[in-house]
Structure 1
Amino acid sequence: MQVKTRVQLSLMMFLEFFIWGAWFVTMGTHLGTNLNSTGGEVGTAYMTQAWGAIVAPFVIGLIADRYFAAQKLLGVLHLLGAGLLYLLGNAADFTTFYPYVLAYMLIYMPTLALVNSVAFNQMKDPSKQFASIRFWGTVGWILQGVLIGYVLLWESKDMLKMTFTLAAVASAFLGLYSFTLPNTPPPAKGQKANFREIVGADALGILKDRNYLVFFISSVLICIPLAFYYSFANPFLNEVGMENAAGNMSFGQISEAVFLLLLPIFLKRFGLKTTILIGMLAWVVRYSLFAFGDAGSNIWMLFLGIILHGICYDFFFVSGQIFTDYKAGEKIRSAAQGLITLATYGVGMLIGFKIAGVIVDNYTLADGLHTWKDIWIVPSGIAGLVLIFFLLAFKNEKIVIDN
């Protein structure tokens, strides 16, 4: 790959995830603090990510794959997104805020697939080249947290609405920049749309494999505790008095990058089942640390809970992507990955955000504060039950990991 192309793709990934992280991490805090939203409303706002994940395959399968070059559609969607992000920052109440965030996530989630398409189209060997490009997306997510939490100090100055303006500017830039990216023509131009392919239905046969069915069910269920972290970790850290919470949460992405490099070693040495169980156990421990930690002498528990994000995410979800690829084979590889993504980030997260909102409302006090210990015990317990189910039902099997 030419140096110019590598730089272009790396900047594209950097901006893609900088934009998402800039407002998504602190949205729950903004809604609760500045718009006086309930826990249920916060959960409903985060559910838009799941609706976007459900809609994304149709946008890509029906439009991007057949009619428009990926980089051009990417540019149009981010330019539209910039306008919506600006409107989000100026929304005065949740009733005004929600339609904008729903519209935004419906057009943002498809861009995650579009940036991958643009990148893959320039690679001769994606298995070796993609990770180094995708790495810059993680850097983008980390940098926004450092910028908002440590440099701009927007959480401490009640300036969280400015995170949407920051994201809007970055989105507008990526929108214009996208038109300079290498051409990625529609791969299925002129072909008739196949509904089964679009929704990943061709991969349903993989669920006949008992082990994969157990993993599939576990994946949907583990998204419930995951939703608690995405929607309420930042409001929790701010409420208990942790300074620069958004910046501190970026350590979770640093951890994710580190454990992504360690994952092949764990899979090879301990096997798939043990690696996934370690990931599940990390969810149990993380939420227990949140339940009993505080911003005083036990602040180390909060930091450790944040740092465990790498094990929580990589050891379960990335291992699952590898397992899905292994089980599916070349013929239905893309369909299988689409199916598991739809089930987790779509259905699983939709359920998770709804439950998280209900639980937080149930433990909200009259003064607007929360009994966080009672809240975090719930996702910890759910993760524990999923762990027991997976431990008893999944039979270990050896998979080959390419070096």
Structure 2
Amino acid sequence: MKNKVRVQLCFMMFLEFFIWGAWFVTLGTFLGNNLRATDSEIALAFSTQSWGAIIAPFVIGIIADRYFNAERILGILHVLGAVLMYFMYQSTAFDGFYILVLAYMILYMPTLALVNSVSFNQMKNPAKEFSMVRVFGTLGWIIAGLSISYIFHWDQGENIGQGLLRNTFLMTAIASLIFGVFSFTLPKTPPRAASTGDVNIKEILGLDSLSLFKDKNFFIFFISSVLICIPLAFYYQNANPFLVEIGMNNPTGKMTLGQVSEIAFMLLLPYFFTKFRFKKTILVAMAAWVVRYLLFAFGDVDELGFMLIVGIALHGICYDFFFVSGQIYTDSKAGDKFKSSAQGLITLATYGVGMLIGFWVAGKISTAYLINDGEHLWQTIWLYPAGFALTVFILFAIFFKTEKIDYQS
């Protein structure tokens, strides 16, 4: 791969995840403080990510893979996203905002697959080259969070009250417009299925890989993947509002420790996966979810502030050890015939169905433990995902049988 192309791909990944991290992390805080949204309404807004994930396979499978270059669709989606973000910046009521964020996520979620397609199309050995490109996406998310907290200070107490968090949408709109224009300069990525026959909806949704459920271990893993996304949704939806409410300084910037740890544990994963095998790796990830939420439940911003920081930093284990290991496991079980469709099925089940349920549950529980002055009984709220993750841990430990999975780093 030429250096010019490598730089283009790295900048593409940086912008892709800068755009996501620039508004999604603080969304709950903005809605609660500036649009006076209820916890159920906040859950509804976060669930648009899941609806976007459910609809994304149709966009990629029916349109991108068959009729248009991936980089062109990427550019169009981000330009349209910039327009929607600008209108979100101007929103003053939740009802209008919800329509905009739903439309935005339906446009944005397909771009996650499109940037991968553009990248893989330029790589001779994606297994070795992709990680060095993808890491710039994590850096983009980190820079977005650090900018909000340490450069603009939009997530500080008085600034939140004055509505400065609204500026995250304007910043995202500008970045999206830049990315949209930049996308048309990316290497050409022609449609892969332009000359194939009729559209196979089962293949697009990954449903042709359902035969893998005959393998009991894969079925247990699949169900566990859906269930673990319920406590995961609590983190995405509640972590930033929680840290703001209890008085943590620069909460968005400190939450980027999760992405820093994600990079570190991604480097450790090949060693851990090879030495301890798949089942133990997944169990460590599930245990980390339990520990993280217990730390959130019993930590505070004073003497026990370190517990909150450790809870944030556990994100690398929670995410990498479960989801990346799960992708490796799915790839090994699917074989050549179902590689793409099996990954699509897992993505649809986790980011789609699993987190859709999770956001709804998190909203209901947060509402149930809201006290009169607008504060929450956070200790009780965090014990729910801790208990749920522990239940999934026990079920997986009992029913998933140890097996050897080959891992090629």
Structure-2-length-normalised TM-score: 0.98
- Write the distance in 2 (CA, Å) between the matches of 1:89 and 1:323: 41
Asked whether 1:15 is paired with 2:15, we answer yes
Cross-structure match for 1:336: 342
Partner-residue secondary structure (3-state), 1:169: helix
Asked whether 1:388 is paired with 2:403, we answer no
Given the alignment, which residue of 185, 190, 194 partners 2:195? 190
Where in structure 2 are the equivalents of 1:319-398 lying within 5 Å? Answer: 319-398=325-404
Amino acid paired to 1:39: D
Where in structure 2 are the equivalents of 1:297-336 lying within 5 Å? Answer: 297-336=303-342
Cross-structure match for 1:119: 119
Amino acid paired to 2:147: L
Partner-residue secondary structure (3-state), 1:6: helix
| Deviation readout 1:332-354 (Å, 9 max, x if unpaired) | 10000000000000000000000
Cross-structure match for 1:295: 301
Amino acid paired to 1:100: L
Given the alignment, which residue of 146, 163, 166 partners 2:168? 163
Amino acid paired to 2:7: V
Partner-residue secondary structure (3-state), 1:100: helix
Partner-residue secondary structure (3-state), 2:352: helix
Given the alignment, which residue of 231, 238, 244 partners 2:237? 231
- Write the distance in 1 (CA, Å) between the matches of 2:337 and 2:130: 21
State the Cα distance separating 1:5 from its structure 2 match: 0.2
Asked whether 1:67 is paired with 2:58, we answer no
State the Cα distance separating 1:151 from its structure 2 match: 1.3
- Write the distance in 2 (CA, Å) between the matches of 1:400 and 1:110: 30
Amino acid paired to 2:78: H
State the Cα distance separating 1:172 from its structure 2 match: 0.2
Asked whether 1:175 is paired with 2:176, we answer no
Amino acid paired to 2:192: P
State the Cα distance separating 1:182 from its structure 2 match: 0.3
Amino acid paired to 1:282: A
Cross-structure match for 1:103: 103
- Write the distance in 1 (CA, Å) between the matches of 2:43 and 2:274: 38
| Deviation readout 1:185-239 (Å, 9 max, x if unpaired) | 0011133211111111111111110001000000000000000000110000000
Amino acid paired to 2:391: L
Cross-structure match for 2:257: 251
Root mean square deviation, CA, Å:
0.6
Partner-residue secondary structure (3-state), 2:337: coil
| Deviation readout 1:236-280 (Å, 9 max, x if unpaired) | 000000000000000000001100110111111111111100000
- Write the distance in 1 (CA, Å) between the matches of 2:71 and 2:376: 45
Q: Structure 2: 5+ residue runs without aligned partners? A: none
Amino acid paired to 1:206: L
- Write the distance in 2 (CA, Å) between the matches of 1:147 and 1:290: 24
Cross-structure match for 1:86: 86
State the Cα distance separating 1:18 from its structure 2 match: 0.1
Partner-residue secondary structure (3-state), 1:142: helix
Could you tell which deviates more after superposition, 268-277 or 219-228? 268-277
Partner-residue secondary structure (3-state), 2:154: coil
| Deviation readout 1:17-58 (Å, 9 max, x if unpaired) | 000000000000000011111111111100000000000000
| Deviation readout 1:273-315 (Å, 9 max, x if unpaired) | 1110000000000000000011111100000000000000011
- Write the distance in 2 (CA, Å) between the matches of 1:93 and 1:239: 22
Partner-residue secondary structure (3-state), 2:47: helix
Structure-1-length-normalised TM-score: 0.99
Q: Structure 1: 5+ residue runs without aligned partners? A: none
- Write the distance in 1 (CA, Å) between the matches of 2:137 and 2:195: 32
- Write the distance in 2 (CA, Å) between the matches of 1:149 and 1:210: 46
- Write the distance in 1 (CA, Å) between the matches of 2:150 and 2:307: 20
- Write the distance in 2 (CA, Å) between the matches of 1:265 and 1:151: 37
- Write the distance in 1 (CA, Å) between the matches of 2:332 and 2:118: 24
Amino acid paired to 1:363: Y
Partner-residue secondary structure (3-state), 1:77: helix
Given the alignment, which residue of 195, 204, 217 partners 2:210? 204
Q: How many residues align?
A: 403
State the Cα distance separating 1:119 from its structure 2 match: 0.4
Partner-residue secondary structure (3-state), 1:330: helix
Partner-residue secondary structure (3-state), 1:301: helix
Partner-residue secondary structure (3-state), 2:22: helix
